[in-house]
């Protein structure tokens, strides 16, 4: 021991504790990666003080831990509050505390990790798609009552495919099923599902589409919360039934589909009616129609019987005789009135003939009057229009003569009364 210290060189100067801490602080706090860093771990303890929230973040195997603090002015901005036992993702910076010679993480933001992070992403995507109206009940289309072709999108190895086939055959024999295979688990599943739905749409024969999977762990269902799958369902012109096969959590595909079933079998049952039920409904309708017709016939028969009784009570023969007499009397009045009007018309016509004969120019001529016409054919009504030597044509009661004016006499004055 003495030999060791004898050979050890003692420096002229040595760092103080504060100097060493300041050096370490400069190394840590000025490092670009440590000035803004994401750290994941599990909260082992959390205590709220007047200045802020202090907690310890450690690895699940407890091999490492780091002290963390969220100051009061930053707490309201956190996405989630640190709680003991939760897996978190922390954003912050490294800070060295010189007095204690310790370093800690000054926290800016806290996000849930593991299952919590998946739930946060689910909520964020759900709220965004919901704001776009993709889950609006008003945009959901009614399912066809009697589809002719049903399309199924699922994995050919999935038990859901067998369940759907058996259910469709049992409920609606003879139905045409169009199968569009797709992966329903893993990172490649979203693209595969989108392509499978697009194939069905391009084919154009399907009346309804079943998107199905036979259940599984939550992480296996991630493809049904993928935005691409949700938009493919919402934009499909064919009504979509989601039969994912889980009841614990509601996927975004369930919300976007026109109808959601908890199992593949339930989805197939919703897609087609039960043929036996259709037969029973048809028989029920026939019986109802028969009862309605029978009731109608009975009502009509009763009404006819009442009319017959009423007809007998009216004594129709006597009424017909009375009506016949009334018609005869009206006919006689009509004939009399017509005869009277005809007689009056004949008398009026005779009077008109007499007036016409009186006014006939030929009758006037026959009584000794004459009509004198000038050469141009106009009737001479005054001596003022005549001239000496003018030839005139005189029409008598019988025949005509031509004369020449030799003298125009002055007009005789009328005798005073």
Would the pLDDT of 95 be above 70? yes
Would the pLDDT of 350 be above 50? yes
Taking residue 189's Cβ as centre, other Cβ atoms within 10 Å add up to 21
- Where are the domains positioned within the chain? 17-113, 149-272, 276-315, 364-399
- Ranges 213-227, 270-284, 320-334, 383-397, most confident: 320-334
pLDDT digits (tens, 9 = 90+) for 141-182: 999 988 999 999 999 988 889 999 999 999 888 889 999 999
Would the pLDDT of 6 be above 60? no
> Could you tell me the sign of the dihedral formed by the alpha carbons of 370, 376, 379, 383, in that order?
negative
Q: Give Cα separations from 250 to 126, 143, 366, 367, 390 (angstroms).
A: 11, 21, 125, 127, 130
Q: Give Cα separations from 183 to 38, 174, 221, 250, 351 (angstroms).
A: 34, 27, 11, 20, 115
pLDDT at 417: 45
User: Rounded to an integer, what distance in angstroms lies between the CA atom of residue 414 and that of residue 409?
Assistant: 15
Query: pTM for this one?
Result: 0.49
Instruction: Give residue 282's pLDDT band: very low, low, confident or very high (50, 70, 90).
Output: confident
At the top level of CATH, the class of 17-113 is: mainly beta
* Average of per-residue pLDDT values in the chain: 84
Region 191-220: what's the mean pLDDT? 89
Would the pLDDT of 17 be above 70? yes
Render 92-149 in DSSP notation, one character per residue.
EEEEEETTTTEEEEEEEEEEE-THHHHHHHHHHHHHHHHHTTTT-GGGPPPPPSS-SE
The edge-to-edge listing of strands for the beta sheet with 176-181 is: 176-181, 149-154, 208-212, 240-243, 259-261
**Considering the domain 149-272, what is its CATH architecture?**
3-Layer(aba) Sandwich (3.40)
Q: Around 357, how many Cα atoms within 13 Å sit in the side-chain half-sphere? A: 6
Region 284-304: what's the mean pLDDT? 89
């Amino acid at each position: 021991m003495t030999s060791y210290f004898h050979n050890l060189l003692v420096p002229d100067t040595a760092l103080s504790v504060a100097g060493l801490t300041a050096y370490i602080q400069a190394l840590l706090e000025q490092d670009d990666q440590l000035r803004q860093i994401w750290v994941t771990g599990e909260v082992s303890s959390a205590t709220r003080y007047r200045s802020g929230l202090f907690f310890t973040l450690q690895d699940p195997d407890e091999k490492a831990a780091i002290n963390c603090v969220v100051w009061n002015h930053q707490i309201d901005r956190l996405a989630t509050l640190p709680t003991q036992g939760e897996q978190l993702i922390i954003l912050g910076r490294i800070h060295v505390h010189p007095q204690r010679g310790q370093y800690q993480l000054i926290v800016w933001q806290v996000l849930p990790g593991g299952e919590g992070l998946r739930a946060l992403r689910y909520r964020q995507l759900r709220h965004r798609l919901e704001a776009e109206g993709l889950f609006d009940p008003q945009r959901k289309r009614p399912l066809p009552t009697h589809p002719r072709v049903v399309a199924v999108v699922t994995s050919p190895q999935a038990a859901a495919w067998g369940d759907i086939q058996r259910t469709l055959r049992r409920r609606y024999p003879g139905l045409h099923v169009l199968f569009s295979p797709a992966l329903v688990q893993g990172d490649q599943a979203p693209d595969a599902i989108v392509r499978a739905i697009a194939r069905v749409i391009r084919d154009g024969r399907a009346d309804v589409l079943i998107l199905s999977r036979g259940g599984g762990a939550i992480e296996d269902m991630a493809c049904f919360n993928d935005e691409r799958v949700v938009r493919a369902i919402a934009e499909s012109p064919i009504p979509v039934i989601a039969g994912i096969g889980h009841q614990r959590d509601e996927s975004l595909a369930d919300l976007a589909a026109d109808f959601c079933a908890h199992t593949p079998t339930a989805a197939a049952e919703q897609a087609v009616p039960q043929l036996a039920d259709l037969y029973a409904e048809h028989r029920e309708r026939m019986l109802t129609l028969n009862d309605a017709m029978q009731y109608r016939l009975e009502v009509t028969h009763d009404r006819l019987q009442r009319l017959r009784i009423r007809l007998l009570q009216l004594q129709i023969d006597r009424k017909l005789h009375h009506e016949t007499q009334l018609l005869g009397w009206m006919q006689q009045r009509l004939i009399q009135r017509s005869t009277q009007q005809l007689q009056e018309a004949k008398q009026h016509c005779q009077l008109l003939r007499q007036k016409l004969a009186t006014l006939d120019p030929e009758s006037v001529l026959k009584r000794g009057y004459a009509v004198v016409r000038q050469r141009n054919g106009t009737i001479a009504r005054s001596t003022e229009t005549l001239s000496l030597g003018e030839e005139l044509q005189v029409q008598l009661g019988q025949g005509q003569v031509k004369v020449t004016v030799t003298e125009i006499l002055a007009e005789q004055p009328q005798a005073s009364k």
